[in-house]
Structure 1
């Protein structure tokens, strides 16, 4: 694999000013080093470098050996520590608690290259390697665990990761805005440990600083650990204040300490997004991984364009709401076209852009006007339960970009593989984008996520009525037929979500039978920190209403619900029969047209 520019240093001898010169910052990452803007460590490293600071990276250090954390020397300012693009516990374990064998962010896709709770382990080892060294933690793992939180893997409420890691600062959300301001203040002579009011940061203090005395006090850590209603109240406040324009600071008392979350950082401007996406990435995995076959995660993004951040869909189970936020910010069309031309010049490029998307592909602008003055609504979601009357539904800029990309010489196909929010698409009276989507941008199968069919479960999930999916499905078939193509939908459904009983799972299986839907993969609900669904899972309460919610916790029931979503597979027949008998649905066992499984 040929490089178009140099990688960030991974050895002391690669320091631009020569070996022996300390780096300003050293990044420690739980992922293998892939120099591509879709990989957090590379993006942060290039941003720091662009601001005139020296930066090196230690990817996937051996957490058993302190020497692995000394390979680049003691950083002049701080270690920047992240578990990687995913929470390390999600990377390492399935929802059933079984170790994962595959890790697409590791060399050769092999699992076991990062420790459990990597942010904690890496911070501890960095401090062991260099006494008194400053540490700043960030990334998805730290961001979602920034306050006291329920941890599925230990089945208990854990302290803020900042408290457990004993780091100096936590940067939450998409960290570049906070990092840029931090670098500016450091350049003007401020000391890292004296910076307490940085937007987008969390600090841990024995005394509440003067600037934070007006912040909202959350229920204390001891309260949320003992009282599930208090836990729900705390989550709701955090969710409501997670807005870059109206969000206020928060304080959580933890013993004799105070976890202080400063207000969210303002999102990057379109120009900043453009500039950071066009920094001199090699867009390759580091050559040290070539002998292992490279890093599989690169394949999905190497010839894709990331156009936007944020998602105002606000599904209950999705962590994007807490990390990237609900506010949409997109790159400019000109920048994306320039990047496409850069891809076209790559010797490995075959003429196909695999994706032009984001967390939700067809979200390209804020959901309504005036959000930069008043922020997003606290109590009202943009799409759930029905689209807000003020929602601005407009695919024209996305359509313009796609048409321009596919007109470029050397571009054969432009696909969309990010998820499409079909309720937003159906709400657009202009069907030009829908038509073009089906005709030009589907690589045989389009991913959509109805998630369930039962109204009670969908209400817990924050998803629209199944009738909206049916409308979309019907229109998709019509446009596909008009285009003379054979294309399919890949629907995603979740089993064992809070609110879903065995009877609900059977109803979903019957719905799939009648709609002739079959799914290759089933998502078993995995409670990750900082989501509404996880709050319901832990508390058994919907904090929005205060009402009890059924939670399938028993491992056997979870297996039964999962099997029902693939009732047609022979290997699932015993489980499906068990589920139907347990629910008293003997009418669905046998040879009839409506039966889900034979008598065996």
Structure 2
């Protein structure tokens, strides 16, 4: 594809376009992918639409100042983000081991962005051009805007706005705030005096002219007191609504962090405008020789239909970034994008996904949200569905029907997460039936995460009973529509509330299913989530309840091993865990046992033959696991989805005489 279809990334590009000086330069930790699934592309194209010239410096070498001067000095400002994923999550696994690859870099090569990229990039840009305004944004800046617990250093860090020395922080989805910032800067207003824009935060030395704000415990207080940290998090969480939300102040030393209320929700017309901008829909051609950018594979033939989520998952920071209120595109806008997609030379007839953070949350939860905002004292769907929740899939179904009828489209998949409790709350089963018949490729991925109700309560997930009902209904509908499809559940170990007893309960659930997860997800404490706050403080800030938190590497390893109890290399850990939990009854050769007394690989040929002759039906099912592949997704800060060792996947068909949980279970590659 021609370079002219992309925003300029070099002096040669500027010369070809007769640009002497750019208005804005975006510095990003990702390679340059000009697709609306990437924040850099959206912000850049929005500003171009407003008449500004915009260039991109993707993945600059942070060790050399010249990398930050490659496009010259911007007239109005630097816009800095770490990329689609927090740089620390991008670099480290949940066990803090360094990753070797990066799906957002050329050829998947790791190491092309620094740790804490927003801070490093901002300091370098300031060093390059001291008088140029610096505005930070994206997921890393957004979720670190207050004093926050940092898992990697195991301490409380200051707001990223303080450490980066940036002038403004644009949090959440920044289309509205960045256009206002650009307008004021173009009018000649000093960035130090831009203070009232919704969806932004700034640092000030005085609150003299500030009215109607809520002050939360200071950085110093939350660093010294976990109860103060909980208090601050609770207030911060309750004020993240564009209608109900108040200005929040948090003192850092002798200065104040001020967060203005969130930007107003985008209308459907505004959302449509964002997605019809002139994106190239692929990565910049300079990456072709290195094998391209792996992350494009997941999104090139996928369509974002909406933003926001009211799902209440405690380990997800999405509501702190995109918010609980659904903002959607019109059906016409989505269909137009699909038609454009069918003309791509590499389109094979398959639309990989049509959805958002939660695919079947296509519209606002209730009419109350539209008038007075989201409720502060209750969630929409947890612990059960609110009486005001609109449960209706027909508009989403009508969209899917129109898409699958388009010429050149063979199949339209739904691969964003389906909220299964919302699905079974719908008394009209038409969507469920057509989902199974037309929009699943052999398996449906869902996220029960756990089966212990005590753990599920802390996760903000429905009870096991709800999942049992969904599973039963799923197989009933598949039988009704003449399909033979399977369920692949995401499962998580070591979440706050999960002790060894709960982990063993989950292991027994896996045994009941009759197949073993090839990969499992360890809880990853990332900034901005309720679960991370509980992990740090040991107390649920909304209930005041003390929560057990698995912290030691040894216990986390045992909980993880229990989810893969049949692997010979996990035998010692599983055995130790069972003995420690007083469940030695699960060690043996009987039907209920999880493991034999001796690991299979160390037993003699004779004993192995004896085990073979006496093995139970369930033990047979744990063999023959397949390898799996992973796909990168950058729109969700909630789960560590960027690498394949953090996804759950299963193999081997289950015994149809088992409970509905295990009925007809099978898995393919993910």
The TM-score bracket by the shorter chain reads over 0.9
Partner residue, 2:272: 274
Match of 2:134 in 1: 135
Give the match for residue 472 of structure 1: 470
**Alpha-carbon deviation of 1:370?**
2.5
Match for residue 65 of structure 2? 66
* TM-score when normalising by structure 2: 0.88
Report the counterpart of residue 338 of structure 1 in structure 2. 336
- State whether residues 2 and 285 of structure 2, in contact with CA within 8 Å, keep that contact through their aligned partners in structure 1: no
Correspondence for 2:492 among 481, 488, 494: 494
Question: Unaligned 5+ residue runs, structure 1?
Answer: none
Partner SS, residue 447 of structure 2: strand
Alignment of 1:349-388 (within 5 A): 349-388=347-386
The Cα offsets for residues 150-184 of structure 1, whole Å up to 9 and x where unpaired, read as 00000000000000111000000111121122233
Cα distance in 1 for partners of 2:212, 2:12 equals 48
What is the Cα deviation at residue 272 of structure 1? 1.3
Partner of 1:121: 120
Deviation at 1:371, TM superposition (A): 1.1
Aligned partners of 2:270, 2:19: CA distance in 1, in Å? 33
Secondary structure, aligned partner of 2:257:
strand
Q: Does the 8 Å contact 1:108/1:295 carry over to 2?
A: yes
Structure 1 residue 99 and structure 2 residue 98: aligned? yes
* Distance (Å, rounded) in 2 between the aligned partners of 1:388 and 1:516: 35
The equivalent residue for 1:295 is 293
- How far the C-alpha of 1:496 sits from its partner, in A, is 0.5
Match of 2:388 in 1: 390
Instruction: State how far apart, in whole Å, the 2-side matches of 1:192 and 1:397 are.
Output: 44
After superposition, residues 283-322 of structure 1 pair within 5 angstroms as: 283-322=281-320
Matches within 5 A, 1:90-239: 90-208=89-207, 210=209, 212-239=210-237
Q: Distance in 1 between matches of 2:415 and 2:17?
A: 43
Summarize the Cα distance change of 1:420–1:3 in structure 2 as closer, same or farther, 3 Å threshold: farther
Give the stretch that moved more between structures: 264-273 or 355-364: 264-273
Aligned ranges 1:46-61 → 2 under 5 Å: 46-61=45-60
Structure 2 residue 570 is the aligned partner of structure 1 residue 576 = no
SS of 2:33's equivalent in the other structure is coil
Q: Give 1:319 shift.
A: 1.1
Distance, in Å, in 2 between the alignment partners of 1:74 and 1:52 is 18
CA distance in 2, matches of 1:598, 1:386: 40
Contact 2:242 2:263 in 1 (8 A): yes
The answer to whether the Cα contact below 8 Å between 2:212 and 2:246 also exists between their aligned partners in 1 is no
CA displacement 1:45-73 (0-9 Å, x = unmatched): 11111110000000000010110000001
Provide Cα deviations, 1:9-65, integer angstroms capped at 9, x if missing partner.
001232378566111000000000011000111111111111100000000000101
Gaps of 5+ in 2: 599-670
**CA–CA distance in 2 between the matches of 1:192 and 1:23?**
18
- Per-residue Cα deviation, 1:294-337 (whole angstroms, up to 9, x for no partner): 00000000011100000000210001010111110110000000
Deviations 1:346-367 (A, max 9, x none): 1110010000010000011110
Residues 146 and 432 (structure 1 numbering): CA distance in 2 closer, same or farther, change over 3 Å? same
Q: How far off is 1:545 after superposition?
A: 1.7
Structure-1 separation of matches of 2:373 and 2:156: 30
**Normalised by the size of structure 1, how large is the TM-score?**
0.98
2:409 equivalent in structure 1: 411
Name which of structure 1's ranges 237-246 and 479-488 shifts more when overlaid on structure 2: 479-488
- Is residue 325 of structure 1 aligned with residue 323 of structure 2? yes
Report the CA distance between 1:192 and its aligned residue. 2.6
Counterpart for residue 510 of structure 1: 508
Moved more, 62-71 or 562-571: 562-571
Greater mean alpha carbon deviation, residues 440-449 or residues 331-340: 440-449
* 1:405-431: CA deviation from partner (whole Å, max 9, x where unpaired): 000111000001111000001111111
5 Å matches for 1:578-597? 578-597=576-595
User: 1:110: Cα distance to partner?
Assistant: 1.4
Counterpart-to-counterpart distance in 1, 2:538 and 2:288? 48
Cα distance in 1, alignment partners of residues 17 and 387 from structure 2:
60
8 Å Cα contact 2:103-2:294 kept in structure 1: yes
2-structure distance, mates of 1:517, 1:373: 48
Secondary structure at the aligned position of 2:34 is classed as coil
Per-residue deviation at 1:574?
Answer: 2.1
Partner of residue 461, structure 1:
459
Task: Look up the SS of the partner of 2:283 in the other structure.
Answer: coil
Offset at 1:209? 5.1
Q: For 1:4 and 1:120, locate their aligned partners in 2 and report how far apart those are by CA, in whole Å.
A: 30
Taking the aligned partners of 2:2 and 2:360, their CA distance within structure 1 comes to 33
2-side partners of 1:69 and 1:183: how far apart? 21
Instruction: Tell me, in whole angstroms, the C-alpha distance in 1 between the residues paired with 2:278 and 2:232.
Output: 42
| Residue 569 of structure 1: how far off its partner (Å) | 2.4
Shift, 1:555, TM fit: 0.2
**Distance of aligned partners of 1:354 and 1:209 in 2 relative to their CA distance in 1, 3 Å threshold:** farther
Q: Distance in 1 between matches of 2:88 and 2:132?
A: 26
Deviations 1:538-586 (CA, angstroms, capped at 9, x unpaired): 0111111222111111001100101111212233222211211121211
SS where residue 327 of structure 1 aligns? coil
Cα distance in 2 for residues equivalent to 1:350 and 1:325? 35
Q: d(CA) in 2 for partners of 1:132 and 1:426? A: 57
Q: Is the 8 A contact 1:205 1:258 kept in 2?
A: yes
Within 2, Cα distance between the matches of 1:275 and 1:386? 36
Q: Residues 182, 209 of structure 1: CA spacing in aligned structure 2 closer, same or farther, 3 A cutoff?
A: farther
Q: How far off is 1:516 after superposition?
A: 3.1
Equivalent pair of 2:143/2:321 in contact (CA under 8 Å): yes
After superposition, the Cα gap between the structure-2 partners of 1:414 and 1:16, relative to the gap in structure 1 and judged at 3 Å, is farther
Aligned-residue CA RMSD (Å): 1.3
Whether contact under 8 Å (1:310, 1:324) holds in the other structure is yes
Distance in 1 of aligned mates of 2:391 and 2:265: 21
Instruction: Provide Cα deviations, 1:201-244, integer angstroms capped at 9, x if missing partner.
Output: 0000111251x332101111111000100100100000000011
Task: After superposition, give the CA deviation of every residue in 1:397-452 in whole Å (9 maximum; x if it has no partner).
Answer: 10000000000111000001111000001111111100010000011221111011
Q: Output the CA distance in 2 between the equivalents of 1:189 and 1:68.
A: 27
